[in-house]
Amino acid sequence: MSVFRRNRGGPGRVSVREAAARTGHRGAAEGGGAALLDVRERHERQAGHTPRAVHPPLSALAAGTGLPPTARARPLVVCRTGRRSRHAAEPLVVRGADAVDVIGGMEDRARAGLPVVGRPGGSGTVT
C-alpha cells in the first residue's frame, strides 16, 4: 500500500514540503527513495529548478520510456503550478508506478523557501 494520498485510482498527491522530505531536499532517489521528475519546459527549468531533479520530456512519460531506473518505481512529479504534473503522473500510475503529483508545483516550492537553483548552481526563479 502506498504511503501517498490517492484520488480515485489516480496519482497520489503531496505538498512541496512532503515531497522535499521524501527526496531529502535533493530531488534524486537514493537508497530506494523517491525521485523528483520536473516536467516543465526547458526554458522554465533553466530559469530555476530543484537540485538533482530528473527532467524527462512529457512525451517520454506518456510512452513510458526514457526514465532512469531511480525514477521508475516511486516518482514525484512536479511542474510550475501542479496542473501538468497531475496529467503527467497519470500514465505512470497506469504502468504500475507509485507516481505522486506535487501539489502547487515549483511556485509553492519557492514560496516555502525550499531550494530553487539556476544556471550554474546560483539562485533561480520560477517562471
Domain assignment present for 126: no
The answer to whether the CB of 125 falls within 8 A of the CB of 119 is: no
Domain assignment present for 27: yes
Q: Domain with 23 in it: what CATH number?
A: 3.40.250.10
pLDDT per position as a tens digit, 61-85: 777 776 777 677 789 999 999 999 9
Q: Give the pLDDT mean for 49-62.
A: 82
Tally of structural domains, the chain: 1
Domain assignment present for 25: yes
Domain assignment present for 116: no
Q: Containing domain of residue 101, as a range?
A: 5-111
Q: Which amino acid, residue 11?
A: P
Decide if pLDDT at 41 tops 80.
Answer: yes
Domain assignment present for 31: yes
Phi, psi (degrees; rounded to nearest 5) at 15? -75, 170
Domain assignment present for 57: yes
Strands (E), the chain: 5-6, 12-14, 35-38, 75-78, 100-102
- Half-sphere CA count of 22, side-chain side, radius 13 A: 24
The answer to whether the CB of 11 falls within 8 A of the CB of 100 is: yes
Domain assignment present for 122: no
